[in-house]
């Protein structure tokens, strides 16, 4: 079996062509150039030097994370592009698995550490055990790669505490070693050492060798299926999430441009989801009250209600999953009541699945009372509907105002 291996998950960029019993070529650079500058030229040069047609390879092994967000994206995009062009499967090799595998045969604990910033490391805990066997009449002790703790993002102090609890000698390697060497010396109570220079960084030949092993156990995927594994969100994503968390939720009138986002939420939250066309027809229909909850420019909830005479009937109300139990549904309900008051609407009606206890509790906390039952009103699954109503301007009693959740978990 012949495999092209790629690893750009850390500071080192490395590519290799490996077979089951040898490394045909390996090209490794640990320099300050970006991986986008080096990776494809490295592959091209390596393939040219060994006069290889890439159509001859059987699979592409790629270090799929954790690691540098930019580096992982470059490596994964390169592997996916080649895999799609060549119609070859991809072998996702966890970065720290490959780092540990480079210390082949070591019976100590093997602990790769990659600097994840914010005093955290990407790591895992591994070792090799010896498995007795025979081949051609010779007694053998074949090292078996063991994953004691799968790859993880963890504060360094937590890793040190775990290693001390194991009470075994530890071998460290990875780009986190020079960053945290002093902290390791201060905190570790067990004997430890550092891997030598020729095995203390990523090597694509190791990614390829471990990839062949994983391939034989069925651990491979199509190029289209492959996704890098980050373990943590990026700094940009964390900052965006923090901005969104602090942003104010605004309730405004629904406009036609909101309908696609509402329909998408429908499909995420309900088995009987409304189509974008149905939502748009409701928004454009005279006599409806349609409100959208928006946070940081994103649609996070909505309520759609029909009006007739002095009554309004809620047809749909929902809040996106990540913002449930944060008061968005109550803001929507309060805004709906204000709209009803402006239109001299005296009563708000709704129906809810009998088995949706969370929604019923939420409506009860908003002052709604049970009026009756519609038998087998709902489909998928079939279920009775509970009719509820409340007068506008009615404040829930102390008994009614209990903490609860809305239909989407509020």
Q: What digits encode the pLDDT tens for the residues 296-325?
A: 788 999 999 999 989 999 999 999 988 888
Q: How far apart are CA 215 and CA 63, in angstroms?
A: 14
Q: Check whether 135 has a pLDDT greater than 60.
A: no
Q: Is pLDDT above 70 for 140?
A: no
User: pTM of whole model > 0.85?
Assistant: no
Are 61 and 93 contacting, i.e. CB atoms less than 8 angstroms apart?
A: yes
Higher pLDDT, 408 or 84: 84
Task: Assess whether the previous peptide bond of 348 is cis (omega < 30° from 0).
Answer: no
pLDDT at residue number 50: 96
**pLDDT attached to residue 403:** 38
- Above 60 in pLDDT, residue 176? yes
pLDDT at 218: 93
Rounded CA separation 43/3 (Å)? 13
| Band (404; pLDDT cuts 50, 70, 90) | very low
* Percentage, residues of the chain above pLDDT 90: 74
Q: Which of these, 328, 299, 300, 335, lies nearest to 314 by C-alpha position? A: 335
Spatial distance between the Cα atoms of 144 and 350, rounded to a whole number of angstroms: 63
- C-alpha distance from residue 38 to each of 59, 74, 406 (Å): 21, 11, 52
- Cα separation of 348 and 217, whole Å? 60
Nearest Cα neighbor of 324 from 249, 271, 229, 222 is: 249
The DSSP code sequence of 207-218 is HHHHHHHHHHTT
pLDDT of residue 236 exceeding 60: no
CATH topology of domain 243-391: Aminopeptidase (3.40.630)
Ranking 213-217, 227-231, 244-248, 351-355 by mean pLDDT, the lowest is: 244-248
Confidence of residue 237 (pLDDT cuts 50, 70, 90): low
Token pair 């030229």: residue: 41
Q: What are phi and psi of 77, to 5 degrees?
A: -65, -40
Residue owning tokens 């036609």: 256
Average pLDDT over residues 206-233: 90
What does the block give as tokens for 284?
Answer: 């454009």
Give me the percent of the chain exceeding a pLDDT of 70. 90
Q: What is the pLDDT of residues 271-286, one digit of tens each?
A: 889 999 999 999 999 9
DSSP state of 66: S
- Start-end of H helices in 134-202: 156-166, 177-187
Spell out the residues 6+ positions from residue 258 whose beta carbon is closer than 8 angstroms to its own: 283, 292, 299, 302
Task: Sketch the domain layout of the chain as residue ranges.
Answer: 2-232, 243-391
Banded model confidence at residue 69, pLDDT cuts 50, 70, 90: confident
Question: Residue 409 pLDDT more than 50?
Answer: no
Residue 406: pLDDT band with limits 50, 70, 90: very low
Span 2-232: which CATH code? 3.30.420.40
15, 16, 49, 214, 240 from 23: Cα distances, Å: 11, 7, 14, 17, 44
| Predicted pLDDT at 381 | 84
Q: How far apart are the C-alpha atoms of 94 and 9, rounded to whole Å?
A: 10
Instruction: Using the predicted structure, report yes or no on whether residue 137 has a pLDDT greater than 70.
Output: no
Residue 242 has pLDDT above 70, yes or no: no
In a 3-state reduction of DSSP, which class is residue 405? coil
């Amino acid at each position: 079996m012949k495999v092209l291996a790629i690893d750009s998950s850390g500071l080192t960029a490395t590519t290799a062509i490996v077979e089951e019993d040898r490394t045909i070529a390996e090209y490794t650079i640990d320099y300050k150039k970006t991986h986008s500058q080096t990776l494809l030229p490295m592959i091209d040069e390596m393939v040219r030097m060994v006069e290889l047609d890439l159509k001859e390879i059987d699979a592409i092994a790629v270090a799929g994370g954790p690691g540098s967000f930019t580096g992982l994206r470059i490596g994964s995009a390169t592997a996916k592009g080649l895999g799609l062009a060549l119609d070859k499967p991809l072998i996702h090799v966890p970065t720290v698995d490959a780092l540990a595998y480079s210390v082949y045969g070591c019976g100590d604990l093997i602990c790769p550490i990659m600097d994840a910033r914010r005093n955290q490391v990407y790591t895992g805990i591994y070792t090799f055990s010896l498995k007795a066997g025979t081949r051609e009449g010779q007694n053998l002790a074949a090292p078996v790669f063991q994953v004691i703790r799968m790859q993880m993002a963890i504060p360094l102090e937590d890793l040190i505490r775990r290693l001390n609890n194991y009470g075994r000698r530890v071998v460290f390697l990875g780009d986190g070693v020079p960053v945290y060497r002093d902290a390791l010396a201060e905190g570790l109570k067990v004997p430890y050492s550092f891997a030598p220079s020729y095995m203390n960084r990523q090597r694509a030949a190791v990614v390829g060798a471990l990839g062949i092993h994983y391939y034989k156990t069925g651990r491979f995927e199509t190029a289209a299926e492959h996704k890098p594994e980050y373990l943590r969100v990026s700094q940009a994503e964390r900052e965006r999430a923090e901005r969104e968390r602090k942003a104010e939720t605004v309730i405004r009138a629904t406009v036609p441009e909101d309908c696609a986002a509402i329909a998408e939420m429908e499909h995420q939250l309900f088995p009987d989801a409304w189509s974008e066309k149905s939502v748009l027809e409701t928004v454009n229909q005279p006599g409806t009250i349609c409100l959208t909850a928006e946070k940081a420019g994103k649609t996070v909830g909505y309520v759609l209600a029909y009006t007739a005479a002095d009554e309004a009937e809620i047809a749909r109300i929902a809040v996106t999953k990540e913002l449930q139990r944060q008061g968005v549904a109550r803001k929507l309900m309060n805004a709906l009541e204000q709209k009803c008051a402006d239109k001299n609407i005296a009563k708000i009606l709704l129906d809810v699945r009998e088995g949706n206890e969370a929604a019923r509790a939420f409506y009860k906390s908003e002052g709604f009372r049970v009026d009756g039952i519609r038998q087998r009103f709902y489909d998928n699954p079939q279920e009775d509907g509970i009719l509820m109503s409340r007068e506008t301007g009615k404040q829930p009693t102390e008994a009614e105002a209990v903490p609860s959740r809305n239909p989407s978990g509020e």
